[in-house]
Amino acid sequence: MGADIGAALRAAPIGLDVEVVTDTERDPPCAGELEILVANTFPSGMLARCPRLRWLQLTGAGADHVLEGAPPEGLLVTHAGDVPARAVAEFVWMGLLALAKDAPALVRQQHARTWAPPSARLLAGSTLVIAGLGHVGQEIARRARGFDVRTVAITRSGRASPLVDEVRPSSALPGAVRDADALAIALPVNRHTSRPPLIDEAVVRALPRGAVLINVARAAVVDTGAVIAALRARRLRAALLDVHDEEPLPRDSHLWSVEGLWVTPHNAFAYPGEAADLVSLILDNLARYRAGAALRNQVVLSELAPRCGTDARSPPRP
């Protein structure tokens, strides 16, 4: 996607020299001259080695990896905001519908040439708990009324929102999920949601038997081991994980064969117009940057939590 973004920026009348760097394993040759960096993956400590860098525009919605770049004090950091939100929300609803209608079993049965009824159920009348009501969580919520699904959002503040039927604070999460038919996780990784993960063993155990869980946030906000244990004990009916502690998921990972677990390759955000929409965001933020105005989707670096363990090896997106 970098080549497409670079070509579009070169064609725009912005009066900047634009360099496209494809090797994300080492500092670019122009590191000493960079004022603005559009990126999502960069070498450890690189941001501290760019003395003229003033603004980092991420091409993804997550910012949990920025601290590994050692950002200097005062660096402006912005993320992709609502650019990937619709695609991720559609992915969540794909998962909710597919799991409700037992689509994985239907695919397996077709491959086996087996004619058998699926274990299907209605989404209508069910309750969906959405952990996080940022850009992605809001788009998930907007689509719920079309399916006659009741929504309960979990946010840090617990402030009411017209997009959902009810909002509860993070402290009420275990109680909120006790009535959930599904839990969709769209939380940012920060010091409030990880280490320990907000979706911990107590939350997973509080989900009623037969519920489903979908994670399109980061692996760090969920106790994946607790999810796997709940699937194996048949307490959870199914789970869809688009994010993992190690990415790409190794071929010998036990997750590939867990019954009831749907593994997808951290691709919920992708759609053909993504690069063009990112360019529009970058140009808007560039105009704001030059005018000294507040940038869209600015990251508060003090809110971020350092990554650790195997999750630290995982790029936030391809």
Shared-domain flag, residues 116 and 247: yes
At residue 197, does pLDDT exceed 60? Answer: yes
Q: Report pTM.
A: 0.92
* Residues 193 and 230 reside in one and the same domain: yes
On whether both 137 and 97 belong to a single domain, the answer is yes
What mean pLDDT is reported for the chain? 94
Looking at residues 50-56, what average pLDDT do you find? 97
CA atoms of 316 and 25, how far apart (whole Å): 15
Within this chain, do residues 116 and 200 fall inside the same structural domain, yes or no? Answer: yes
Decide if pLDDT at 310 tops 80.
no
φ, ψ (nearest 5 deg) of residue 310: -65, -25
DSSP per position, 258-311: -TTEEE--S-TT--TTHHHHHHHHHHHHHHHHHHTPPPTTB--GGG-----GGG
Kindly state whether residues 188 and 114 are assigned to the same domain: yes
- Say what the pLDDT of residue 304 is: 87
Q: Is 283 within 8 Å of 12 (Cβ atoms)?
A: yes
Whether 173 shows a pLDDT value over 80: the answer reads yes
Same domain? For 76 and 101 the reply is no
Are 244 and 304 contained in the same domain? no
Q: CA-based angle 294:299:302, to the nearest 5?
A: 120
Looking at the domain assignment, is residue 318 inside a domain?
Answer: no
156's tokens: 């840090």
How many other C-beta atoms are found inside a 10 Å radius of the C-beta of residue 203?
25
pLDDT, one tens digit per residue, over 11-44 is: 999 999 999 999 999 999 999 999 999 999 999 9
Q: Does residue 70 form part of some domain? A: yes
Average pLDDT of the segment spanning 97-108 = 96
Neighbour count for residue 10 (Cβ, 10 Å): 13
Q: Is the domain of 78 the same as that of 94?
A: no
Residue 172, pLDDT score:
96
pLDDT of residue 286: 98
Find the radius of gyration of the CA atoms of the chain. 21
Is 229 contained in some domain? Answer: yes
Q: Are 54 and 76 in contact (CB under 8 A)?
A: yes
pLDDT in tens, 262-296: 999 999 999 999 999 999 999 999 999 999 999 99
Q: Say yes or no: 221 and 277 in one domain.
A: no
What pLDDT is recorded for position 305?
74
Count other C-beta atoms under 10 Å from residue 73's C-beta. Answer: 5
Residue 55: which of 28, 37, 31 has the closest Cα? 37
pLDDT grade for 200, boundaries at 50, 70 and 90: very high
> What pLDDT band is residue 195 in, cutting at 50, 70 and 90?
confident
Q: What is the model's pLDDT at position 307? A: 61
In which band, very low, low, confident or very high, does the pLDDT at 318 lie, cut at 50, 70 and 90? very low
Amino acid 316: pLDDT: 43
Domain boundary among 263, 285, 304: 263
Domain count, the chain: 2
* Confidence at residue 317, expressed as pLDDT on a 0 to 100 scale: 44
CATH number at residue 195: 3.40.50.720
User: Rounded distance, CA 147 to CA 271, Å?
Assistant: 23
Which of these three, 263, 282, 303, is where a domain ends? 263
Cβ proximity of 263 and 255 under 8 Å? yes
Model confidence at 311: pLDDT above 70: no
Is the same domain home to 247 and 102?
A: yes
In tens, the pLDDT along 140-156 reads: 999 999 999 999 999 99
39 in a structural domain? yes
pLDDT at 303: 87
Residues 62 and 127 in one domain: no
Taking residues 101-114, what's their average pLDDT? 96
Residue 26 φ/ψ, nearest 5 degrees: -140, 160
Provide the domain limits for residue 95: 87-263
Q: What is the DSSP letter of 68?
A: G
CB 39 within 8 A of CB 30: no
Q: Is residue 221 part of a domain?
A: yes
Task: Say whether pLDDT at 315 is over 60.
Answer: no
On whether both 109 and 44 belong to a single domain, the answer is no
